Amino acid sequence: MTGVYNPLLVCLSLVVAFLASYTAVELSGGLNALASEKRRPLWLVGGAVSMGVGIWSMHFIGMLAFSLPIEIGYDFSTTAVSLFLAISVSLIALATASRGALSHRRLCVAGTIMGLGVAAMHFTGMHAMQMSPGIGYTIWKVALSVAVAIAASVAALWLAFTLRTSDAENLVVKRLGAAFVMAIAITGMHYLGMSAANFAAGSLCLSGDKLDANWLALAVTVTSFIVLVGTLGLLGFHTNSLSISLGRANRQLHYLGTHDALTDLPNRQKLSLHIAQAVAECARRASPFAVLFIDLDGFKSVNDSLGHGVGDDLLQVCAERLRKDLRHTDMVARLGGDEFVIVVDNVAEASSAAAVANGVLRRLSQEIVVNGLPLRVSASIGIAFYPRDGGNADELLHSADAAMYAAKQSGRNTFRVFEPQMNHTALRSLILQRDLHRALSGGELSMSFQPKFRVESQLVTGVEALLRWRHPELGDIPPLEFIPIAERSGLIVEIGDWVLHEVCRNIAVWDAQGLPPISVAVNLSPIQFNVPDLVVRIDALIGAAGVDPCRLMFEITETTAMQNIEKTSRTIEALQSRGYTVAIDDFGTGYSSLGYLQRFRFDQIKIDGSFMHDLDAGGERGSALLSAVVTLARALQIEVVAEGVETESQFRTLGKLACDQVQGFLLSRPLPAAEFLAFLRCASDRIICTERTRATPTG
């Protein structure tokens, strides 16, 4: 019995095959991108159902295109099994194509399983006709159709995987081409398998009264189109959503890359771009502009003593104040730390930039309350003009920075306009940093000693060791200039070891001449104090020199002590347990409270010299602080030393306040080692000897 094909349904089967193939390619390409790890199995199963329905629909439309001169129907359960097989092989295909890697072995195994599954689906669907007598098959055609199914499956998997990792250029065209090749292969396998079927003359279809072929054709066609088009639509919706999310993420990433996370101000990158645009605009319109470099005065003390949380809140308030009164053409940016920059557009003369700077100084100097704490900061501002002071962002920022440094040097809370000689200051810092290494090994560093005196008797109670540097070309370099450079370069730890070695050497000289034992105070910088093995290093140096620990006192600043309270307490206890004494230096310049004196248990408190000027002027600030410190110190059995005493009136006031010791030019300036040796000889009967300690250094 011979059958014929309906050309319309044959074409329709090819269209469905193409649509199913395109859906498969799209799904394999978008599955990983669209689905999260949790939702991926759901997408995988859903995609397999839609792809399986498409392949199965193509198969059945192709079967329905074949008509015999008898009524044909299809058994429901067998038809359902063929659909299940189509969905199963689709699941295998999608799972394989969406994997991270596809080896040749996995490709061949998965392609073979898929090809056998497609062939099984086809012949199961043929069996649903339940012909009597049964359908006969030409073996070689069956074998060929199975081989075509396997080859088509391998090719389909390879194409799907390859296109998934392909670049975006002409991707739609590539996927359409792949879908067309896959559709031809699938339909070719189907019709080759159909040609292998032989229907005996007089055959009957036992399923003729079950599923009507015409209604089945309509149902299959409509259902397959709905499923496939719906899947593509859903895929497109998710792709579009992903594209929108990606665009939003890119915009957010760009914003984060050009703005400061803490203050939400533009960062250095956006600032440089803005200045470059301003330079280009100036070239067109001849409209000069100004760059204001702003550095907060005293911010480090707030940050170190009250914590980074308070410091961050303070920066946010300052940033908000800097935003005020700016025109829409101007920009304020944060470079990092406590440094800000304002670009003022169309500034014809210096007075306009000065007005902006004065406004900034006025706003920043107003009291700021953070977590209930009233704080005050000021600012130092440097101003540079384009094109006079620089032709690009780097040059303008460098000039404004140099002017800001000059403002700090001239007293802070002010501004300076850039002048060419200001570059000399920046160049000098670089030279000093370079030459400091040579100074350490070349004998340019030396020690001076400034004695401390008891107030009521003017007896010598101890001495402070002070580092000096005489540069061969530049002369004497002030410690306030080279110590920060040493800290920034990391050389301060090595210099600190050298200082301790020199102090021990001088103590040995004094002892060798039979002079009374006197305590020597040595300053520890914040960098030194935070070295993990500080106490071990000190023990090693002192032990090697054979100096009794009671001869040494270590001074740390209030700011250093407040950086890490727990670590400071542990370090002080470790030093005191070995017999060293510890003093807090420059007390009153930070933001710590008197309550911390009880916690740290210092042996000595040194009041900063800035309060001495207040005593001369009859001010209450210095007197009140000294009175409070002396009262608390007596209760805690801590001695108080006033630094920077220069006048008789200061000395008399300190005596009335019952201050224990004084240090300053009134009684003695810092003396070089040789002069201090002579001083000790003359004052040997007025020296309060240091008692030997029972503690010994421990490693």
Confidence band, pLDDT 50/70/90 cuts, at residue 221: low
- Which pLDDT score is estimated for 88? 83
Dihedral Cα 243, 245, 250, 256, nearest 10 deg = 180
557: Cα separation from own chain's centroid: 31
Cα–Cα dist 330/346, whole Å:
9
Q: Are strands 289-297 and 339-344 parallel, antiparallel or unpaired?
A: antiparallel
Cα–Cα dist 218/221, whole Å:
5
Q: For 8-22, 241-255, 438-452, which range has the lowest pLDDT when averaged over its residues? A: 241-255
264, 272, 697 from 335: Cα distances, Å: 12, 11, 46
pLDDT in tens, 541-579: 999 999 999 999 999 987 778 767 788 888 999 999 999
Q: Which residues is 292 bridged to in the sheet?
A: 342, 383
* H or E element, residue 167: none
pLDDT in tens, 565-614: 788 888 999 999 999 999 998 876 654 456 667 778 889 999 888 778 76
Task: Give the sign of the dihedral formed by CA 592, CA 598, CA 603, CA 606.
Answer: positive
pLDDT in tens, 54-86: 777 777 777 777 777 777 777 778 878 888 888
pLDDT in tens, 142-163: 888 888 878 877 777 777 667 6
Q: List CB contacts of 240: < 8 A, sequence separation 6 or more.
A: none
Q: Taking residues 200-216, what's their average pLDDT?
A: 65
Q: Taking residues 48-55, what's their average pLDDT?
A: 73
Report the candidate in 502, 555, 499, 553 with the shortest Cα–Cα distance to residue 529: 555
Q: Is the pLDDT of residue 504 over 70?
A: yes
76, 161, 639 from 138: Cα distances, Å: 26, 35, 113
Cα–Cα dist 336/466, whole Å:
33
- Which pLDDT score is estimated for 219? 60
Q: Is the pLDDT of residue 694 over 50?
A: no
Q: Taking residues 379-388, what's their average pLDDT?
A: 90
Confidence band, pLDDT 50/70/90 cuts, at residue 698: very low
Cα–Cα dist 151/545, whole Å:
87
Cα–Cα dist 529/433, whole Å:
21
Domains of the chain: 4-245 (no CATH), 268-420 (3.30.70.270), 447-686 (3.20.20.450)
The 3-state secondary structure of 507-519 reads HHHHHHCCCCCCC
Please give the backbone phi and psi of residue 34, each rounded to the nearest 5 degrees, phi first.
-85, -30
Give the gyration radius of the chain's Cα atoms: 44
Return the higher-pLDDT residue of 364 and 559. Answer: 364
Q: For 218-232, 354-368, 670-684, which range has the lowest pLDDT when averaged over its residues? A: 218-232
Q: Is the pLDDT of residue 623 over 70?
A: yes
| 8 A C-beta contact, residue 283 and residue 542 | no
Q: Give the side-chain half-sphere CA count within 13 A for 532.
A: 0
Q: Taking residues 313-342, what's their average pLDDT?
A: 89
Cα–Cα dist 541/543, whole Å:
5
Q: Are strands 460-471 and 520-523 parallel, antiparallel or unpaired?
A: parallel
Instruction: Find the farthest-apart pair of alpha carbons in the chain and give their distance in angstroms, rounded.
Output: 141
> Which of 191-195, 231-235, 407-411 is most confident?
191-195
Q: Which residues is 380 bridged to in the sheet?
A: 295, 414
Q: Which two tokens stand for residue 288?
A: 């000069």
- Which pLDDT score is estimated for 695? 38
Average pLDDT, the chain: 80
